[in-house]
Every structure is written in C-alpha cells, then in structure tokens.
Amino acid sequence: MALKDLLVYVNESERTDLRIEAAVALAMDHDAHLTGLGVRMSADTPTYALAAIPPDVLVEVERRETASMATAQKAFESIVKHAGWSDRSGWVEEAGGIVDTVSRNARFTDLTIIGQQPAQESMDAYLDLPDDFVLHSGRPVLVIPEIGVSRPIGKHVVVAWNGGREASRAVADAMPILERAEAVEVFSIEPKGMGDLPGADLAQHLARHGIAATVRRSVANNIDASDVLLNFVADESVDLIVMGAYGHSRMREVILGGMTRDILSRMTVPVLMSH
C-alpha cells in the first residue's frame, strides 16, 4: 500500500507550523493528498448545565473557538500554498472532542500526523493526546517532535524491534516509507526468546519486499531502553523511528514507566507508532 491520503491535526499552537511543514514535505515526497483538520472544541455538557451558563460566557467561548480555527486554517493554507500543494490539499473543520474527532477522521486515511506534546503544556488539554490517538484511531500515527524536523523524513529509518504484535503492526504500516528509505536498521535491545540473531527474520521479510535492512542489537547495561534507542538515533543520524506503542497497558507505563511514554516525551526525530 502506498501513502496517498494523509491527515494532519492543526491547532493554533506556536509549533503547529513545523508540523504542517513536515506533513506537506511528506505528502509531496509520496505524491499524496493532505487534509488539514481543525477541531472546534465542544464539551459534552448536559442541557440543564448549559442553561446555567451566562449567555455572554457562551458567546465568548464561541468567539475564541472561531478565532482559533481561523488561525489554524490560515496557517495550513499558507504553508501548502507556499509549497505549491494547494491542489492536493484540503481543510476540514469539525466540532467535538479532540481525540474522538481526530481518531474518527484518521480511520479513513493512510497516516495521521500530529505533534509532540510540548513540555510546558503538560497540564492543559493536550495532555496525552499523541498516545491517545495511537490507541484510539486504529491507524498509524506519525508524531513530529516539538523542535520540528531538520532532514527529510524516512531516508534513514530505525525499526525498534522486540518481536511483539505492536512492533509488527508498525512495520506493516510503515512499509511504504521503508520501501523508499535509503537505509533501514532493525534494532533490538536485550532481546529474549528471539533466537541467536534477533531481527533476522524481520530482515528476511523486508528483503522480500526489496528492502535491504541491517540487523543491529544492543544491551542496555542498566540504562533505560529508551535512552539506548535515542542514543542510537543520534549516533547514526536516523531521521525516523518506527515502533509499536504500548506493548504493556498504558496504566502500567504511567505508573512504572515504559518505552512508549519515554520516547514520546523525549523524542528528537519523528516517530511512527502503531498499536
């Protein structure tokens, strides 16, 4: 399957331009249509509760949401126009909860592009959105780091491989990118129960798709697995991580820590995740 239908979630945050630029570049690289999605926030408030809210407050909330959507749409349309991709793009605006709205739209696209949660916004409405999208959409999600991207996405890719279902799903979802990559690394950290050469079976599978992958492994040596992976990414100038999300329950990762949350909080390059 090729990447021909991309979705990017757009809001009025100061980093949204970097996300849109990355999405446009990916769409152009894959000759894909790009849809910008703005979500007009609407709380599921009972009618009796709405009746208790002063009309001027409701008017002000509506005014702010309208202004927010106008800012988001302007940013999206300006960037796609500058890139010469207006004919292959479109803007959609819907009202609802962010996770439900983005996830619903993601289900009929090939890949959804969202932004990393900014550290300074850790307590606002954007809390946990990247992993919420991964868990609820049923489709692959590409998370763009807060700092943006400095190189084309998908030229040098590392697959974080643990032999699990989620990692396998991520590889299948990333195949259109892997097939176009200049270098693919299958990277395992302290693998157990995966044979003498972890990743060899996956590399053989990729080879049958014309992808020459290099198998690499590492031992954590009392270092967090996420640190090992991020160090490898930096040392090898990787521009995309492909990985499964939440091999354990999210609650366990919230309490005990885990690879998914660590990477989402400290990522330095885009991450394609599937669950």
pTM over 0.85: yes
In whole angstroms, what is the distance from residue 236 CA to residue 240 CA? 11
- Sequence-ordered alpha helix ranges (H) in the chain: 16-29, 47-51, 55-82, 98-106, 129-137, 165-178, 200-207, 225-235, 250-256, 259-266
In whole angstroms, what is the distance from residue 206 CA to residue 147 CA? 31
According to DSSP, the β-strands at 271-274 and 141-144 are antiparallel
Whose structure tokens read 């703005």?
Answer: 38
pLDDT at 58: 59
pLDDT at 251: 46
Domains of the chain, CATH where assigned: 5-144 (3.40.50.620), 156-270 (3.40.50.620)
Using alpha carbons, select from 28, 29, 7 the residue that is nearest to residue 19: 7
In whole angstroms, what is the distance from residue 224 CA to residue 208 CA? 33
pLDDT at 1: 73
Using alpha carbons, select from 177, 10, 240 the residue that is nearest to residue 105: 10
pLDDT at 270: 97
Using alpha carbons, select from 186, 154, 144, 178 the residue that is nearest to residue 270: 144
To 10 degrees, what angle do helices 98-106 and 129-137 make? 40
The DSSP symbol for 116 reads P
pLDDT at 66: 84
Q: Which residues pair with 189 in a beta bridge?
A: 218
pLDDT at 60: 65
Q: Which residues of the chain have pLDDT under 50?
A: 121-127, 193-194, 248-257
pLDDT at 273: 94
